[in-house]
Amino acid sequence: MEKIKKLELQGMTRAFGTAKALVDFNLEIAGGTFVSLLGPSGCGKSTALNCIAGLLDLTAGAIILNGQPIHHIPAEKRGIGMVFQNYALFPHLNVIRNVSYGLENRPMPRAEIERRVRWALDLVHLDIEEFGHRFPAQLSGGQQQRLAIARTIALEPNLLLLDEPLSNLDTKLRNEMRIEIKNMHRQLGLTTIYVTHDQSEAMSLSDVVVVMRAGRIEQVGTPQAIYDCPNSLYVADFMGYSNRLPVQIVERDGDEWRVQTETGVTLRATSTYAGSANWQPGERVVAVSRPDELLAEPLPDTNQMRGTVHLVDFVGKAYEILVRLEGKEETQLLVWGQHPIELERPLSFGIRPNRLLLFPMDDTPPAVRVKTRYREPAWQ
Ligand code: ATP
């Protein structure tokens, strides 16, 4: 397997008629990196992947692999492997032949084909004795997914592209396959581009996450950097900052801002938005937070807020508590607590200033909507 040194995507643009699916996409990927393209449906993730694979021509821009342009080279000559969302297995071929098929047209001794088939099935933990002679219809969804990956890996591509490979699997299988994909990447060191709309999948697998919006790159960074420092409300929303609170800037205070809620509560907050340096007192912005960082057991030196408990949901290691803000009942925030709490009780909660992030108001709808269906707590 020939390892790549660098993949450069330069101004990659793809239009369908007048509609631009991909606009000026620039990214440099070092060999061995696991990159995820993350974004909602229709933001251009698959278009980007198909352009790299050679299944779609570019309208403008260039794809440079190890210093050589490859965007004019046909797909089958690029040495790129792609795993599709729907697996695209051959239904009339058994597992072994699904994997060997792509190798049979190559000038390759039979023994080498057999070695690669065994190696690839082994890598995805599909036992050749048990499953080798089964047809795709005789495999579970997870096994079909493993086969799709084995079939691509057997070709020893220099770049692996995965288009939402886990989206047809249930949660348990997704988690298992996620670990398998991570292990495989660690073992092979294969440069990988992975398309997903699942934030946790992108975060757990990737060295680099590319958040896309309407055909463009919105933010690129390590999972940690994007999680801690989203550069827009759109990215914050994708990273699970689902609580929104309209506030007004009071003043800047070193690295922090003092802001006031509509009910007159003063809070300290931070901004990871590049344009925040220009904010003036009186400016209206939005303060966002992740529910798991807005805590019902506030520590000293955190922002304090008060509200009334509206709904409670046990989510495993904590309780998610929907709180109506004191003085502004229509503002609801999701808070985490370690203990159950009765409905309609007053509740104090807080958040550290560096986890309350300020952004300009924009028209991005919240990605994670506040739940409307809750189980009844047991003590009711
Ligand atoms: P999903 O997660 O739903 O697969 P995506 O982020 O992969 O979405 P793309 O499939 O890349 O999005 O599509 C990006 C945009 O390009 C969409 O608006 C889509 O409707 C449009 N598009 C994609 N393929 C075509 C096509 N063949 N003809 C016309 N428009 C297309």
Q: Report the nearest-CA residue for atom 25 of ligand 1.
A: 16
Cα 355 off chain centre by: 20
pLDDT for 368 equals: 41
- Give ∠ CA 334-255-232 in degrees, rounded to 5: 50
What residue ranges of the chain are covered by domains with CATH 3.40.50.300?
A: 6-232
Tens-digit pLDDT string for the chain (380 aa): 567 899 999 999 999 999 999 999 999 999 999 999 999 999 999 999 999 999 999 999 999 999 999 999 999 899 899 998 888 899 999 999 999 998 988 888 899 999 999 999 998 889 999 999 999 999 998 899 899 999 999 998 999 999 998 887 788 888 888 898 998 898 889 999 999 999 989 999 999 999 999 999 999 999 999 999 999 999 999 899 999 999 999 999 888 999 999 999 999 999 999 889 889 999 999 999 999 999 998 777 789 999 999 999 998 889 999 999 999 888 899 999 999 899 999 999 999 999 999 999 875 555 443 333 333 333 33
pLDDT for 81 equals: 92
Cβ of residue 19 lying under 6 Å from some atom of ligand 1: yes
For residue 126, what are its two tokens?
């599909």
Q: Report the nearest-CA residue for atom 30 of ligand 1.
A: 16
Specify whether the CB–CB gap between 66 and 5 falls below 8 A.
Answer: yes
CATH superfamily of 234-360: Nucleic acid-binding proteins (2.40.50.140)
8: left (phi over 0), alpha (psi -120 to 50) or beta: beta
pLDDT for 329 equals: 83
What residue ranges of the chain are covered by domains with CATH 2.40.50.140?
A: 234-360
Mutation choice for ligand 1 from 14, 16, 86, CB with most ligand atoms inside 8 A: 16
Q: Report the nearest-CA residue for atom 21 of ligand 1.
A: 21
Rounded Cα–Cα distance for residues 260 and 255 (Å): 17
pLDDT for 64 equals: 96
Q: Report the nearest-CA residue for atom 28 of ligand 1.
A: 16
- Domain 6-232 in this protein, CATH class: alpha beta
How many C-beta atoms surround the C-beta of residue 293 within 10 A? 18
Cβ of residue 16 lying under 6 Å from some atom of ligand 1: yes
pLDDT for 209 equals: 97
For residue 16, what are its two tokens?
């369908």
- Give the residue among 286, 369, 366, 354 at the shortest CA–CA distance from 322: 369
pLDDT for 20 equals: 93
Specify whether the CB–CB gap between 298 and 288 falls below 8 A.
Answer: no
